[in-house]
Structure 1
Amino acid sequence: MLILEKLASFDLENLTEISRSTGLISKVIEFTSNRTNMTNINETHQKLLKSSSLKLLRKLVNTEGKLGVILRQKISEHPFLLSNLAEILDDDGSSQELIELTAEIIRDIAMDANRREEIGKIRVIISRLMQTFLSRDAASSTDSDHFLREIVGQALAVLAIESANNCLIMLAEPEYLFIKELTFMIHGDRCRYVAASLLRSLCLHARPELNHSELKDISYILREVLEEIMDAEGAELEVLVGLSSQICNVIPEEFVRELQDGLIMERFVKKLVDALNANMMPTGYCPGIRRAIIEHAIYMMEYSPSYASYFNKCWMMETLLMVERTPSRAENYRFFLGDAGVMEHNIPISSLVARAKELMGHE
């Protein structure tokens, strides 16, 4: 296993050979379970074998390009993979390293929509991921603890994307007030951008289930989110704008009041338009930033047509025409692993541009 792990890290040809080898991936997955048939090794070596197997699987599912797509599909379709990963998460004796490796594997295979739903049905996976993500002790936490929480949070965030079922499962977890926990993290936790991504998905997919107290918790972070948008760039800006747009969609009255009371309406609209102009060439680092900004503008103008005048003053129509003239295939995807886009959007950006232009024409 150690040799295979080193070979997998060396070049793509080795990864290709591993993917072609009959029965090899099945055997590696078998080693991740406590219930192997191997009786000739002691407990210490058993743990090392499990760790090496998980490291190899992590490398395989994190492979970039078209080969990565093939490997993730092949691995995620194995009938015992998810039960083995659930077993590791549910074992109180699992080390931090094993939990981290397991979360990375879950994060990467969950980029497939069908696999996301399958993972959600194994309730212990989401429950244990939430337990790790929300457990924090500022007095004793280390950099490795923060890194583990970041990885686990990323796994949860991917599981929540375009999955109402998984969002509802997270909200229903009895040990936590998940919305309150996430808003608390956005106030300054090192995992605040992961928390913002999760909260965006919950607002989008679980909106009818949010109670009065949860909506209040969301309203309490609105000013902070708006202020951070003013200074953010790149991927952080994409995440924050995505969250802000969903807050606008869920509690539009509070959103309008915050913009007006804070006297930042014109400045906020200008920031959105300036950011749209600054990101006319989408990158693999943040491919959805133009989409997020246009969606936000749509939510604002659908709630109050008067917003169209603010956008027109900032030359939004001209900017939309530029977006229309510079379509990018990259914007069809949420993430990139190398040159391979994963998690394709349902609505093309051209449709969003057309809707925004229609709303601005109704000023």
Structure 2
Amino acid sequence: MSGGAPVLIPVNGEKKDETIVLCMEDIKAVADSKLSEVARDFYNSGSTYQITINENSSAFNKYRLRSRVLVDVSKLSTETTCLGRSIRFPLGISPAGLQSMAHPDGELATSRACAKLGINMAISSFSNYPVEDVIGAGEGKINYAMQLYTMKDRALQERIIRNAEAKGCKAIFLTADSPVLGVRYNEWRNDFRTPEGLSFPVLEWTSENIRQQTHDSGFTKFNDDSHNWTREIKWLRERTKMQIWIKGVVTAEDTELAIQHGCDGILVSNHGGRQLDGVPATIDALIECVDAAKGRISVHMDGGIRKGTDIFIALALGAECVWVGRPAIWGLAYDGQKGVEKMLSMLYEDFRRCMALCGCNSVKDIKKSCLSRMGLDGVLRRMD
């Protein structure tokens, strides 16, 4: 195909009843069929009435792509830079916890898949494997960020930071949108508890400790809701040379505060719709944050990315890179490491194809002018 990417050829499965998987919805359908109802609800649900989680994906439908013709894209490159390393395309795996509930290899399988596809990964505080094992699975081929909450136990928080840095993490993703957890009805209805045998080594929690409490009550015990900008950023800067990113920003005001406090970047995110229901979809919040940043701080986003064209739209609106969480979980449940690789490959092929058809030879060529949006008067206009 144009742009040098391989041609995808749909074929029937070898077995009569084998599901043909061609898109994210196909992977999710297989994953849902393999997961228990409790696990499926935990991974897939947002908070309260599911408004934000649904809009995270549907909001992309407001944009139209402006395809171009007779552009030489034979040397097209999807590569960009993230966390100080060149990556194959502008995507990373967000810090999603409890991955071993989807597949026994959990974060190890995800790390190996990321290494094979050449993209970075963020490690959750709720990882079921130690940081050193997750990073070791990547064999030095990619970079990692350590996701972190503000914690009442500062000594433990400091051990997490020092260990992450010692093992090679390049950044902290401080999840700042969670002074309390959002109300997740399905977790409450199911009395969700981490399955027996799974631990959280980053937090130094054993399976026995975890099973004695709900996910919500366990979070409340360790999380510090007295966190604030001045104290947290200063405290982190005194203890690490890793980059400090703020995850969970959805407003211009917080973008400005991140800049004022010397943060290295922001991750525009609404926690996958799992915190405050009714906040904007991340693709909508992205525009406000990019406008406020004015190029003074790196801006990434996560939430709702399901297609390569979604990645393209996010970059056109100003994101430097995007991250995905649930798709990695679905890939794991679908087929472990191979499932995550397949998910990532689909996003890569779709993104590359979109770049070629829109006449973009590099990631830097992706601009607002590549998009159109319907005005209030019903006229489709190019975005500038």
Task: Quickly name the TM-score band, shorter chain normalised.
Answer: under 0.3
Question: Highest relative contact order (Cα 8 Å, sep 6+), 1 or 2?
Answer: 2
Instruction: Flag the structure with higher strand content.
Output: 2
Q: Scaled by the length of structure 1, what TM-score is found?
A: 0.28
- Indicate the structure (1 or 2) with the bigger Cα radius of gyration: 1
Structure (1 or 2) with the greater helix fraction: 1
